[in-house]
Chain A
Amino acid sequence: MMLKTIFSGFGGQGVLMMGYSFAHSAMNKGYHVTYLPSYGAEVRGGTANCTIAVADEEITSPVASEPDYVVVMNSPSLITFQNKITCGGTMFLNSSIVEIRPSRKDIKICAVPCGDMAREMGNIRVANIIMMGAFIKKTGIVPSDVYLKSIGTIMGGKKKSVAELNQKAFTAGYDFVKD
């Protein structure tokens, strides 16, 4: 098994955190894992993305030329990555701000209004965690308890209220999508 995922969006939407937390949990599940962020002369509000490879064997290239999953948190990311995703792969999109849809018919689409859901919870910043709830359930690579434990470890020093909000956000995303 070798699964590659690209998380993408605006800088500030927490897409690198999505990738890092997913990679962290996959590591704790016992998988081989690589995390490769985009880097360079980026600007605030510009695009950010990272590539996660999860496998049950040694991972050679951390680059994904044909990702199995792509998570797009904004419209430019959809345009950038819709043609990279492998045939039969799944695109997760933040339908709160992504109004367009991929023109391809050979991929599955999982639309999650995670921006609106986050705003309802009173904090737009958990939109990424809501999306992770949907992602974790749909992909089934990492069990939810393993993922939540990783989020706890990563957020270690943060306030209890933050941890509870993350848990709530994750559950909302998890329950939003069907198996």
Chain B
Amino acid sequence: MNKVLMSGNNIIGEAAIRAGCRFYAGYPITPQNELTEYMAEHLRTVEGGVFLQSESEIAAIHMITGASATGARVMTSSSSPGISLKQEGISSMAACELPGIIVNIMRGGPGLGNIRPAQGDYFQATRGGGHGDYRTIVFGPATCQELADLTMDAFDLADKYRTPVMILADGMMGQMMEPVIFKKPKPRQYNEKFMLRGAGHGKSKIIRGLILDPIDMEEHNWKLARKYQVIIDHETLHEEYKTEDAKLVIVAYGTSARIAKGAIKRLRDKGMKVGLFRPITLWPFPELKLRKLAEKINNFLVFEMSTGQMLEDVRLALQGYADIGFHGRPGGVVPTPAELANVVARHYEKKD
């Protein structure tokens, strides 16, 4: 397979179609429009492919919920304000144990905010976002190649755990082009017993989120909680970059992690031993892996394009084990590696 040069938005679309996504519903919003456009153009070229521009974001999430119940591989996408609208549907999918992919190409917030890259939706993505006791698996890709790979993996994980999976990227990842190689997707493994396929001769299949008896609902909640625990135990992903000899480790994900790598390059040129811990799954957060790092490193700096959200997960992992600093640029600002390097240098000197 040859390398192709594609934008992040288009890569997600192509990877989804290759992974067998055959139902997409969405509503336009910058900076993820190219993904909706890509699905409009390409889903109709594959057998059984359905593209729907819905009347709203809320309609789109419920459309994919319905299609997922029939057994289709489904996806919807939006950007921050649109993802807020989808939360009711995501909660329903989690309750009904329906697989599906939700792509959030984050922009500046809160409110309508702006259309520049930001990371202010971390809490919403990793804490469930909608109402009720549930979680969604969240990927935070940092390269276009990772967008391709993780989109495919997201479909497999969604099926494996019968749960919605979110891809959390930002405007920069969506708009940027990088060379990418599409891997061969794995064959789908999803039992037909979970698919509503019309009247048959077997037992009735019921998919529902409305469970009026509190004892039954409690049991359903514990069942979901046990499933989430299995995910926490088995599905964390992270990358460590130059941490072997590091005196300070930056913790960052997505676009921030790219900027952090640029800063690390500058700092190492000046002789400062700085590394990076990059969570790839934001939920489940690679908490134990990060804590392990604190056995030999005492100085951590969280860097986000927000006022400090992942910071809380880092605190849960490291509080009492290491010192934690923070640098944030919310609202759609993309800082330069040079700026971050200066901030890191200050924290580095303070401790060393």
A residues near B, CB below 8 A? 20, 23-24, 27, 32-37, 39-41, 58-63, 65
Contact = CB atoms under 8 A, between A and B. Distances in A.
Interface string B166-182: 00000110011111000
Contact of B3 (A20, A27, A58): A27
A58 B176 contact: no
A34 B178 contact: yes
Contact of B5 (A24, A39, A41): A24
A35 B9 CA distance: 13
A58 B172 CA distance: 17
Query: Nearest 6 pairs between A and B by C-beta?
Result: A60-B262, A35-B177, A60-B261, A61-B262, A65-B336, A27-B179
A37 B175 contact: yes
Contacts of A36: 172, 175-177
Given A20-B177, A39-B115, A33 B337 contact: no
18 contacts: A32-B179, A34-B176, A34-B177, A35-B5, A35-B176, A35-B177, A39-B115, A40-B115, A40-B116, A41-B30, A41-B115, A59-B178, A60-B265, A60-B337, A61-B258, A61-B336, A62-B176, A63-B334
Contact of B171 (A20, A27, A39, A59): A39
Contacts of A40: 30-31, 115-116
B31 A33 contact: no
A27 B175 contact: no
A60 B30 CA distance: 24
Given A40-B30, A60-B337, A61-B336, A33 B258 contact: no
B338 interface: yes
B259 interface: yes
Contacts of A59: 178
B263 to A, nearest CB: 8
A106 B261 CA distance: 30
B5 A65 contact: no
Interface size class of B (residues with CB under 8 A): 20 to 34
A61 B259 contact: yes
Interface of B: 3, 5, 7, 30-31, 115-116, 171-172, 175-179, 258-262, 265, 334, 336-338
Given A36-B177, A39-B31, 13 more contacts: A27-B3, A32-B179, A34-B176, A35-B5, A35-B7, A35-B177, A36-B175, A58-B261, A60-B258, A60-B262, A60-B337, A61-B259, A61-B337
A28 to B, nearest CB: 8
A37 B338 CA distance: 21
Contacts of B31: 39-40
Nearest to B116: A40
A60 B337 CA distance: 9
B311 to A, nearest CB: 22
A173 to B, nearest CB: 22
B141 to A, nearest CB: 14
B5 A27 contact: yes
Contact of A39 (B3, B30, B262, B265): B30
B91 to A, nearest CB: 31
Contacts of B176: 34-36, 62
A59 B145 CA distance: 13
A41 B176 CA distance: 17
B113 to A, nearest CB: 13
B175 A39 contact: yes
A99 to B, nearest CB: 32
Nearest to B258: A60
A58 B241 CA distance: 12
